[in-house]
Amino acid sequence: MPARLTPLSEIATALRSAQRIAIAAHVRPDGDAVGSVLGLALSLRAMGKTVYALLEDGVPSNLTFLPEIATVQSPPYADFEIDVAVALDTATHERLGQNTVTVMGRAPLMIDIDHHPSNPGYGHLNHVDGAQPAVGQIVYELLKAGDFPITDEVRQHLFTAISTDTGSFQYSSTTARTHEIAAEMIAAGLDTARLAQLLYQTFPARRLLLLRAMLNEMALRADGRIASWQFTQKLMDEVQVQPGDTEGLIDTMRMIDSVVAAVIFEEIPEGKVRVSSRSKDSRLDVSAICAQFGGGGHRMAAGARMKGPITEAAETYLKALEHEVRRIN
Ligand SMILES: [Mn+2]
């Protein structure tokens, strides 16, 4: 197995000697994926490099306010050549998306930077650190290690990455260093209040219609310790859902005092069901439950894909979850 913790200084050296660099993150990108990709991309562009920022599924609507979002490319990709490919926040090579995997394969050097503990280290150089709360935090340390430019726009992206993946510095993954980085960014002039307003207090009406539906339809089981909701294609059509609309909805179910696990089941194409699950008790590892169904993720936040129909997938998953929830009593 390749080394999974190549020093950031070594990765910085590899990036410094490259001229054409592709940077990508996982399908259905979240704040950490988008912010890490563009945070690194904008720093390398400020050094005069040609940087391709690639996201298989584009940028979700809730993050389009961020700087230079229009420079993100999604398929079909042009026929450009690259010296180095960097995968960020992506636990398996395949999760980059099929078209993106193909483009990244053109590079003689692949760098894999991630914080999912299950990441096997599929790059030539790998920096997989499960102790980091966000890849945005690793990218910030990488820019520091390489003495790369950190502009206000780079800070906006990396703050977004760190803030969203730590639930606004609330999750147990948040470290003293996470706060120090935020402090360094504020000291450098970053307007974090503006970013927080745009990230957490600005939503399209669609999002609130989804929230209303979730609160009406959610189900409690295992004496109120599990909350779940089935998000159907019918509702998606009704509210004309856009990628990003559901980001963070699950945390509302997680707020219920009795709840230790919250789950959203979502109908996706080809008769499949996407499962997103959150734990509120460190003794309950939802990534292990998702792994039973071919998925994975983090201990407190994980996902999987199951065969539909949605009601059957939900019952199968919830039975397995309930078994684990009852074990921790
Ligand atoms: Mn992440």
Q: What is the mean pLDDT of residues 151-174?
A: 96
Q: Residue 329's pLDDT is what?
A: 74
Q: Cα–Cα distance between 11 and 284 in angstroms, integer?
A: 35
Determine whether domain 206-327 maps to CATH 3.10.310.30: yes
pLDDT band for 3, please (50, 70, 90 cuts): confident
Q: How far is the CA of 115 from the centre of ligand 1 (A)?
A: 7
**Higher-scoring residue by pLDDT: 248, 128:** 128
- Radius of gyration of the CA atoms of the chain, in A: 20
Q: How far is the CA of 228 from the centre of ligand 1 (A)?
A: 23
Q: Cα–Cα distance between 234 and 202 in angstroms, integer?
A: 25
Which tens digit of pLDDT belongs to each residue from 243-293? 889 988 999 999 999 999 999 999 999 999 999 999 999 999 999 999 999
Q: Other CB atoms closer than 10 Å to residue 37's CB: what's the count?
A: 30
Q: How far is the CA of 89 from the centre of ligand 1 (A)?
A: 5
Q: How far is the CA of 119 from the centre of ligand 1 (A)?
A: 12
Q: Cα–Cα distance between 17 and 239 in angstroms, integer?
A: 48
Angle in degrees, 0-180, between the axes of helices 31-46 and 152-165, rounded to the nearest 10: 160
Q: Is 261 helix (H, G, I), strand (E, B) or coil?
A: strand
pLDDT above 90: percentage of residues in the chain = 95
Domain 8-200: homologous superfamily in CATH: inorganic pyrophosphatase (n-terminal core) (3.90.1640.10)
Q: How far is the CA of 324 from the centre of ligand 1 (A)?
A: 25
Q: Residue 51's pLDDT is what?
A: 98
Q: How far is the CA of 134 from the centre of ligand 1 (A)?
A: 5
Chain centroid to CA 233: how far?
Answer: 23
pLDDT band for 2, please (50, 70, 90 cuts): low
Q: How far is the CA of 300 from the centre of ligand 1 (A)?
A: 12
Amino acid, res. 29: P
Q: How far is the CA of 216 from the centre of ligand 1 (A)?
A: 30
Q: How far is the CA of 276 from the centre of ligand 1 (A)?
A: 14
Q: Cα–Cα distance between 211 and 224 in angstroms, integer?
A: 19
Q: How far is the CA of 237 from the centre of ligand 1 (A)?
A: 29
Q: Cβ contacts of residue 267 below 8 Å, gap of 6+?
A: 231, 232, 233, 236, 273, 308, 310
Strands of 269-300, DSSP E: 272-279, 296-297
Alpha helices in 1-46 (DSSP H): 8-16, 31-46
Q: Other CB atoms closer than 10 Å to residue 96's CB: what's the count?
A: 24
Q: How far is the CA of 248 from the centre of ligand 1 (A)?
A: 14
Q: Residue 269's pLDDT is what?
A: 94
In the sheet where 72-73 sits, what is the strand order? 72-73, 50-54, 20-25, 84-88, 109-114, 125-128
Which tens digit of pLDDT belongs to each residue from 18-44? 999 999 999 999 999 999 999 999 999
- The continuous run of DSSP H or E covering 307 comes out as strand 301-307
Burial letters for 18-30: b for 16+ Cβ neighbours within 10 Å, e otherwise? Answer: beebbbbbbbbbb
Q: Residue 94's pLDDT is what?
A: 97
Q: How far is the CA of 83 from the centre of ligand 1 (A)?
A: 25
Task: Give the start-to-end residue ranges of the domains of the chain.
Answer: 8-200, 206-327
Cα angle at 287 between 309 and 326, to 5 degrees?
A: 80
